[in-house]
Amino acid sequence: MSPLLINFAYVISAALFIFGLKMLSSPATARRGNLLSALGMFIAIIFTLMAQGLDYKWILLGMAIGTGIGIVAAVKVEMTSMPEMVALFNGFGGISSLLLAWAEYHQHPEMSVFIAIVAFLSAFIGGVTFTGSMVAFGKLAGKITQKAVVFKGQHIINAAILATAVIAAVLFCMTPQSGAGYALFILIILVALGFGVTSTIPIGGADMPVVISLLNSYSGIAACAAGFVISNNILIVAGALVGASGMILTNIMCKAMNRSLSNVLFSGFGTTTAGQGDSDGPQGEVRPASAEDVYYILEAADSVVFVPGYGLAVAQAQHVVKELGDLLEANDTEVSYAIHPVAGRMPGHMNVLLAEANVPYDQLVEMDDINPRMDTIDVCVVIGANDVVNPAALDDESSPIYGMPIIETQRAKTVIVLKRSMNPGFAGIQNALFFAENARMYFGDAKASIQALVAEFKSD
């Protein structure tokens, strides 16, 4: 196959990646953008394999296996498990870059200094991404503790690991073709795998949205470096796009939490919050409400805003929430859904859940758009959200979350909070909203609680 045809196919793939990425920025076009990007990757893979002289039978076999795995994952994996799946995808991307750089070095150890440098970057960043993503997966899936795990001398250990990696990299790049060079490359891989664990384990569950977007960026950077190793232009372009977009998204996530990236990575957030700011104990009188009480409040409302959180995902309540929203609209009530940037366990988690329930895109409202008109809202229904609606972020300077932008539900005329119990959220602090004069606590499983409200409306 001629290089001209291959490069032409790569240009088409790159254009599809860029247009697809652009379309992902809006819920209305995200699905089409995903399909465009998938088409671009399909073209890139086919032409790359054909350029390597691979027989079409092996290409079809690989496509069949990959498609089968994708179909099973799409059908079997629940929407509540999407964050874990994204973490796995990030990890697979990282280990792929590591193995690609390793294979290329194993076959062609006589490489230039530049190729040796990018091979190191691909292997090291890929290894960190893989084990870091596995730790993130374990935290998200509840297989390991979701709390930040910190220990004495942790920063010193991480600094020593990085120093070892840098020294090994310098020595490796000087003599990659020697036996010592190969041993150094294996050392770099082992150090990278260890650093992925030690750098991710201190990060608590509350910071998982940031971690996932950062690991996504790492996987792109590793892929970009791998593209230089094997001189593949489309891999360089695709990796650069993923790396850059992941970094931008990570920055957006940090701003949404009013925290720096270094604070997320190194503070061990969630280990020392008890007793700071808001107390874990009672802060006032809780006003519980029954399904009938909440029904009468909603039935009389002219405007209702649902504020979803991770509790919505756990209860898989998105479909019954949509059903309740339809009943409210039939009752001439204006319905909208306010989305906090870091609600859930990954960027856009709530958008994905509500899209699955076919909630209209124009009813999804971002935090910055809903807050200015919160005073005019009759009822805010908070479903499983906690820290992202905690007023302590606005008025308690001693609170660990002080300064974090929140959805200001406390300014609505009435707030209905759906929770299983009074347990605090991932920040480990009590929520003053639960004790506000205009707040009513509707205890129970979110899905069962909403179903009870639906039944009240249908029986009226």
Residue 65 has pLDDT above 90, yes or no: yes
CA 246, CA 206: separation in Å to the nearest integer?
19
Task: Give the DSSP letter of residue 366.
Answer: E
Kindly report, residue by residue over 342-364, the tens digit of the pLDDT.
887 777 888 888 888 889 888 99
What is the predicted pLDDT for the residue at 206?
Answer: 67
pLDDT at position 191, please? Answer: 95
Residues designated catalytic: 387
Query: What pLDDT score does 428 carry?
Result: 65
* Spatial separation of the C-alpha atoms in residues 423 and 22, rounded to whole Å: 40
Least confident of 206-210, 280-284, 392-396, 414-418: 280-284
Mean pLDDT of the chain: 87
The CA distances from residue 49 to 12, 17, 96, 136, 450, in Å, are: 16, 19, 16, 32, 51
The fraction of the chain above a pLDDT of 70, given in percent, is: 94
Least reliable range by pLDDT among 29-33, 370-374, 391-395, 397-401? 397-401
Please tell me the number of Cα atoms within 13 Å of 295 on its side-chain side: 16
Q: What is the pTM of this model?
A: 0.80
R_g of the chain computed on alpha carbons: 25
pLDDT(172) > 90: yes
Helices 208-229 and 113-141 pack at an angle, to 10 degrees, of: 150
Q: Give the 3-state secondary structure of residue 381.
A: strand
Average pLDDT of the residues in 287-315 = 92
Poorest-pLDDT segment among 61-75, 84-98, 203-217, 326-340: 203-217
H helix intervals, 363-445: 367-370, 392-395
- Among 189-193, 284-288, 327-331, the minimum mean pLDDT is found in 284-288
Task: Yes or no: say if 342 and 83 are a contact pair by the CB < 8 Å rule.
Answer: no
Banded pLDDT at 277 (limits 50, 70, 90): very low
Which domains, ranges and CATH numbers included, belong to the chain? 77-266 (no CATH), 291-459 (3.40.50.1220)
Distance CA 111, CA 124 (A): 17
For residue 165, pLDDT beyond 60 = yes
* Most confident of the following: 153-162, 200-209, 248-257: 153-162
Predicted pLDDT at 297: 94
- Which of these, 309, 274, 305, lies nearest to 428 by C-alpha position? 274
pLDDT band for position 76 (cuts 50, 70, 90): confident
Check residues 271 and 357 and name the one with the higher pLDDT.
357
Given a cut of 80, whether residue 147 has pLDDT beyond it is no
Q: Is the pLDDT at 125 greater than 60, yes or no? A: yes
| Three-state DSSP state, 20 | helix
pLDDT at residue 305, rounded to an integer: 96
Give pLDDT, residue 275.
42
Q: What is the DSSP letter of 434?
A: G
- Of the ranges 63-72, 117-126, 202-211, 222-231, which one carries the lowest mean pLDDT score? 202-211
pLDDT given for residue 52 in this prediction: 79
Taking every pair of Cα atoms in the chain, the longest distance, rounded to a whole number of angstroms, is 81
For the residues of 269-321, what is the DSSP string, one character each?
TTSS-TTSSS-SS--S---B--HHHHHHHHHT-SEEEEEE-HHHHHHT-HHHH
Q: Are 8 and 44 in contact (CB under 8 A)?
A: no
Q: How confident is the model at residue 24 (pLDDT cuts 50, 70, 90)?
A: confident
Q: Give the pLDDT band of residue 283 (cuts 50, 70, 90).
A: low
Return all residues near 189 (Cβ < 8 A) that are at least 6 apart.
98, 102, 123, 124, 127
CA distance 365 to 248: 21
